[in-house]
Amino acid sequence: MKLYPLKFNPVYSYRIWGGEKLKTVLNKTYEEDSIGESWEISDVDGNETTVANGDLAGKTLRQLTEQFKGDFVGNKVYEDFGTDFPLLIKFIDAKTPLSIQVHPSNELAKERHNSFGKNEMWYIMQADKDAELIVGFNQDVEKDAYVKHVENGTLTDILNIEKVERGDTFYIPTGRVHAIGAGVLLAEIQQTSNITYRIYDYNRVDAKTGEMRELHTDMAVDAIDYKFYDDYETAYEVETNASKKLVHSPYFKTNIVEINGEINRDYTNTDSFVIYMCVEGALKLECEAGIYTMNTGETILLPATTTNVKLTSSENTRVLEASL
């Protein structure tokens, strides 16, 4: 059986802060209310996505890696990660703000949870007027001062708040305090991890449980990077019918591809799977295995054996192109 570009059945997650944009803007299909996340490609235990198209329909990422090894994920990726798929791909809709939170580093996550850390990036697909994100601190902070702010309920005084609009991009390394604000729809690419330390949750009661969500203030103290940075937002260039660098980190590389006409992509020297997230417009993808379509809010995974593809669009279409 041959590998081919794979679409997956998303896993939809209820969130206290979730809205309707995954359905109304991205045309996702589900019945529940307050769906905040569409996990597009996931190897997280209990939330594994399965192939939706072709002969491999129903297979999980782990089953695909076990069967095809380096042909699926890339030889170097298979050497480094075995059957653990290294990336988690999501769309997130925040109707109300997420909790203020932080993710532990690889070392801390391994020690405490036997998990990867959670370095991630956000690409803003749509934002309501005056929508905001919290990313990092607005000054260098001492650990003791931070603890006092948490205890006094004045944490937001020292946090960096960014107004956002479509196309804004942020890399969130482990240790960086952050939160998605109300009215933001975004694409998220991250390490495969579900470890989050909540610091503050606006004293909200979850309608499903009738209780406030657990906080992890003590665990967060040792996980936080208390420095101020002046480059929280990622600067990048876009060029029509070209792939341009967006976020390159030790954990994944993401480029932005803008298509109006056609572009050929050659992955002969890319020893990795490649994931496309269509964040604007629609396109046709052609390769040796056949012809595929993608619309805004759809994701497709090219196995490592897919080395040449042609992308065609008759409108301004943007795709996030992620690999290891």
Catalytic residues: 198
Evaluate whether 274 touches 285 at the Cβ level (below 8 Å).
no
**Residue whose structure tokens are 């480029």:** 255
Contacts (Cβ under 8 Å, ≥6 apart) of 148? none
List the alpha helices (DSSP H) in 13-153: 21-24, 61-68, 70-73, 75-81, 106-113, 143-152
Closest C-alpha among 180, 187, 173 to residue 103: 173
Beta carbons within 10 angstroms of residue 54's beta carbon: 17
3-state secondary structure labels for all residues of 190-243 = EECCCCCEEEECCCCEECCCCEECCCCHHHHHCCCCCCECCCCECCCCCCECEE
CA distance 118 to 123: 16
